[in-house]
Amino acid sequence: MRWMLFLGLFAVAEDVDTVPSDVSCHKIKRCDDNNVCAIVCERGSVQTDPWADAALKFQRKLAYTHSLCHAQLPGSHNSAINMGYGIEDHVFEGVLKYFPWFTTNLVVHTNDQLFSMTDQLRMGTRFIEMDVHWVDDELRIAHCGGFDSSALDDFVSWINAVAKLLGMEIQWDSETVGCKPSLSSIPAHQQRPVVHALEEVAAWVHAPENQGEFLLIYFDDQSNLLKWHKVKLLLDYIKKHFDLAEILKPSDVKNLDHWPTFETLIASGKKVAFLSVSNYSPVGDEILFHKHDLCSWQEPDLPFKPYPECRFKDWVTGTIENDHILFRPETSEIQYGFINAQGHLGPNEYLIDNALIPRLMECNVKIPSPDNLTPNRTANFIWSFAEKEPKNPSDCIVMHRNSSRWYSHDCNTATGYRPACMTAASKNESSNALWSLGAISDGTHPNCPPGSKFGVPTNGYENRVLFDLLWAQDPNTHGIWINAKTIIDQVYMNKDSFIFAPNS
């Protein structure tokens, strides 16, 4: 009887609008094979804030002056688990209501992202994560791999020993739990083929308006792809949609001490790099970078102690002392009723949310990667301009004493302002320059101490250092001149850019 009731819930389930109330887009209906439907945003239709778009582009230009290990860029977690994944969540929520021993209003939320990868990229993400697994005779975007059982794997291997005698092979193991059966509220065979996901991202990369961008694509995959001889298929899918000449390959940097800066890569025609959780060497060496070979890569747990400690859980030292490490924290907001994303009872804790993102940026955490990106959430990655600034891009740029954010200001009428002066930290590459303040001057004649030059912060930490320097001055120092003119001209002054009117 309960099973019939469950089927009935599928039959009468109302379409649920999954679009947050603060997001505008062109809404469409998406349905699965069970005729369960949800309202989602059509790919590429999410409306973004032109001010945030420009500010994030400005910050990318600054980040691109660094290499992978030292650039601070927005990322997203499980980027391709979106639009259709979680389509049956509301049905399972309805089922839970029929169990009287459960608390009311239990949430089922099994998709990590609300919007397409195209929209995440339009919002400013430059690190895309694809969960790649072999499911139903295809490489698919599927959420599994966290479960590992040697007993179950041994059992499958025993069955396989017999199956191979019969000319068959079972390509399934404990790492596939969550993909088949699917724990993403979507039939396993409807999980998206990886080749289609790559096609979507390639379309964004190759769009004329994105020619000055570089994208990191990260495969959260498993070693069973090598065991089942599927790595070559993954490489073939990549080469189907990306020209080898535009891909940064391991051989391109094999004999270098470190990656070139992103702006150098872009100038040489490179547009994308592919990173992998698993080491498929030598099969994957043509295209794939193994993450553990890059920048002492770490994905630390929360909680996080903010500036000035800038320290993750279980770390004795902070992110500033460990500037050479690529910290890529990620958190999941998936909820299976009373079980959270970590498999524990209760709600998820210590999330990379709107409140934490600015603190991570202020500590130069390299690639924070949250769930549930929205235009409002990505705006929290902005550490440079105040909202709706610069009002006049032809003016000089200043930081006032009341905020670390920047404003446009007439270059010649301000008094009590000192230039931001920078000195390269050392011969060893670092994302953090050494900062001081020059003598009081106008914005067109900055006067920096010998050995330093008029500069611009390239990450949230450097910006905070300047703000602290400002506060250490006597009240006669009203603010700091920022040397942002060159990049402002690139971002705000061309005919296709949004210019903010004084009254906007």
pLDDT per residue as tens digits for the range 108-150: 888 999 999 999 999 999 999 999 999 888 999 988 755 444 5
pLDDT of residue 430: 66
Segment 49-85, tens digit of pLDDT: 999 999 999 999 999 999 999 999 999 999 999 988 8
- Residue 1 in this model has a pLDDT that exceeds 50: no
Please give the Cα distance from 187 to 165 (Å, whole number): 31
Residues of the chain with CATH 3.20.20.190: 2-143+178-381
Q: What b/e sequence results for 272-289 when a residue is b if at least 16 CB atoms lie within 10 Å of its CB, and e otherwise? A: bbbbbbbbbeebbbebbb
pLDDT of residue 502: 40
**Residue in 83, 108, 82, 178 with CA at minimum distance from that of residue 334:** 108
What value does the mean pLDDT take over residues 3-19?
A: 61
State the average pLDDT for the chain: 88
**CA triplet 390, 394, 398: central angle to 5 degrees?**
50
What value does the mean pLDDT take over residues 233-247?
A: 98
Task: Give the dihedral sign, CA 132/270/74/207.
Answer: negative
Please give the Cα distance from 109 to 306 (Å, whole number): 29
Segment 189-199, tens digit of pLDDT: 889 999 999 99
Segment 76-119, tens digit of pLDDT: 999 999 988 888 888 877 777 766 666 667 888 889 999 999 99
CATH architecture of 2-143+178-381: Alpha-Beta Barrel (3.20)
Please give the Cα distance from 418 to 289 (Å, whole number): 44
Please give the Cα distance from 443 to 481 (Å, whole number): 6
What value does the mean pLDDT take over residues 176-201?
A: 80
Segment 463-499, tens digit of pLDDT: 999 999 999 999 999 999 999 999 999 999 864 544 5
CB 461 within 8 A of CB 363: yes
Tokens linked to 188: 């396993």
- Residue 500 in this model has a pLDDT that exceeds 60: no
Say whether the peptide bond before residue 187 is cis (omega within 30 degrees of 0).
no
Phi, psi of 29 (to 5 degrees): -95, 135
**pTM, full prediction:** 0.90
CB 58 within 8 A of CB 110: no
Per DSSP, helices labelled H in 220-274 are: 224-227, 231-241, 250-253, 262-267
Please give the Cα distance from 108 to 170 (Å, whole number): 31
Q: Tell me the percentage of the chain whose pLDDT exceeds 70.
A: 85
**Residue in 383, 360, 501 with CA at minimum distance from that of residue 50:** 501
What value does the mean pLDDT take over residues 433-455?
A: 94
